[in-house]
Chains A and B, each alone.
Chain A
């Protein structure tokens, strides 16, 4: 008993040490990455001819005096390194400056739009998770009609441009029932649901394809393992082998995928929100890009970079925790 406990805690200690070292290294990498991306974008904005106020200057109605006043107000008259350091220290406190367009703190505008994007993202993950049973179904019927159909659908889904799927859905819905989801539904839960489900389908498609393919190949690999053959050989009933041996081993790595597809979901959200006029940060980013509203652009860029980093980080840690072989590599 004592002996077993000792072995157990040793393993735990090893795992904890691995997670700590790994996290520490990746955290360092992440900080560097964030700094480089944000710095590059900052200088790109400020070194281009015209600078951040180019959009204002293009407007014939703004007089030179007014531009000078605005430059003063947004702190654009200081030397570039000063602006950069000020921007960086402020950004560390999540203060990205005032939006040129909304004349309010950028972070305030962005957080207001965060809710709808999170809703859409969670919903699209639910759609994407349908890929798990699909992949399982395909693998269990390998080479048969069901497998062929599912593989055909994933191939088609993979080749479908996200934005075009959305547009086609809108046009088809409009011609069929004279209605299509535009913006976020207000009112009861049903209203909310019918407005979110179509964008969520469009956004979730790419991840759904990824999940289906991943689960299919995972299950096929597990089905070839000796312990599955042993389970069959000793006469265990098929459903038991499927749930206790195949699914347990094949589906665990799926957890890691949740993090890996986050960048895809974020990029997809930008397009989907644009197509469906969904009031999230993707749409806000598009609007800010058109209006050249740099504080907003930088705020969203910083946040999405952070989200991407955290997503892959969680995925990598989960992968090491789930599959011990990764830790030794």
Chain B
């Protein structure tokens, strides 16, 4: 029964094979066909749209605040009577209310988006920048290189990250970029693991052997033949890293050890005593809601990308 596949293709298959070039004159590349698959997935497409909207609105924060709201993230708002407007509930003057020192919540929410998104993106890039080469080397060379990198990964995974991050934050008092770098140090092991897995399966493919027989060196094989396999996984992992980093940054900032205070991030907007939220519940929903929606969209886009980039997985 198994021999059936060794026999010449059935007449109808041969006919199709002949017909194909006539039907489509230009062959579709990997990325354009992936995009076609992605476009078919309604949920991912909507998530991508919402995500882009959040990015654009956050990037345009100075414009929106300056020209539409006429506010400033550091400015203390005043009531018509001229007093500082602390803890004002949402109204036409302050669409999302004001916080405990009288700053406009909507304005800060917009600016905070820049910080939270930038941290998430930077962490994903750092994680990819360290993790992908590490995973590539571990998977490709094997032997002691693999053992060494595995040991480091194992080591990093066993560190109680949040506890260590708090201690690091106390002593290094990092700014936003430094914070992202520190986060990246805790994120790359996951990326390295994933990449290593892909490399391990790609390393023994026939075309890699063929390339080696033709005299290609390690570097050429890694860059030209293995890296393209890694690319799709790397993009998905970077997305998941970004989502996880936004969540982690918000936790640390919420505890007061993340993004330093005058600067707003979605996490540190709520790092005040919970007693206040009993009297001012409107302060609670917007920042967390933004994180929730953003992270959800990043997850959904990553999921969609995984399905689109890996046709074998698609169900």
Q: Which residues of A contact B (CB under 8 A)?
A: 29-30, 32-33, 36-37, 41, 44-45, 48, 155-156, 158-164, 167-168, 170-171, 174-175, 263, 266-267, 270-271, 274-275, 277, 285-286, 289-290, 292, 297, 300-301, 304-305, 307-309, 312
Contacts and interface: CB of A to CB of B under 8 A. Distances in A.
B299 A267 contact: no
Interface string B135-164: 000000000000000010011011111111
Q: Describe B's contact surface by its main secondary structure.
A: helix
Interface string B289-315: 001100110011000000000000000
A99 to B, nearest CB: 16
Interface of B: 151, 154-155, 157-164, 166-168, 170-171, 243, 247, 250-251, 254-257, 267, 270, 274, 277-278, 281, 284-285, 287-288, 291-292, 295-296, 299-300
A159 B171 contact: no
A159 B277 contact: no
Nearest to A300: B163
A44 B166 CA distance: 12
A155 B300 contact: yes
A9 to B, nearest CB: 32
A38 to B, nearest CB: 11
B1 to A, nearest CB: 16
A270 B267 CA distance: 15
Q: Describe A's contact surface by its main secondary structure.
A: helix
B159 A271 contact: no
A311 B37 CA distance: 41
Contacts of A48: 171
Of the listed residues A267, A297, A300, the one surrounded by the most CB atoms of chain B closer than 10 A to its CB is A267
B159 A37 contact: yes
A17 B255 CA distance: 46
Contact of B160 (A266, A271, A292): A266
B151 A285 contact: no
B277 A167 contact: yes
Of the listed residues B158, B171, B270, B274, the one surrounded by the most CB atoms of chain A closer than 10 A to its CB is B158
A170 B166 contact: no
B171 A45 contact: yes
Given A274-B255, A305-B160, A161 B171 contact: no
Contact of A168 (B159, B160, B168, B288): B288
Contacts, number: 126
B300 to A, nearest CB: 7
Nearest to A166: B274
A33 B152 CA distance: 10
A271 B254 contact: yes
Nearest to B165: A267
Nearest to B278: A174
A155 B296 contact: yes
A63 B170 CA distance: 24
13 contacts: A29-B151, A159-B299, A160-B292, A161-B247, A163-B250, A164-B288, A164-B291, A175-B281, A266-B160, A270-B255, A274-B255, A300-B163, A305-B158
B254 A163 contact: yes
Nearest to B280: A171
A21 to B, nearest CB: 15
B274 A170 contact: yes
Given A163-B255, A263-B160, A266-B163, 10 more contacts: A36-B155, A45-B167, A155-B296, A164-B250, A164-B254, A171-B278, A271-B251, A286-B255, A297-B167, A305-B159
A101 B243 CA distance: 37
A23 to B, nearest CB: 15
A105 B257 CA distance: 26
Q: Which A-B residue pairs are the 9 nearest by beta carbons?
A: A164-B288, A267-B162, A159-B296, A159-B295, A304-B160, A171-B281, A48-B171, A163-B254, A171-B284
Contacts of B299: 155, 158-159
A131 B300 CA distance: 21
A175 B296 CA distance: 27
Contacts of B250: 161, 163-164
Contacts of A263: 157-158, 160-161
B160 A301 contact: yes
Contact of B167 (A160, A275, A289): A289
A31 to B, nearest CB: 12
A162 to B, nearest CB: 7
Contacts of B292: 159-161, 164
B160 A289 contact: no
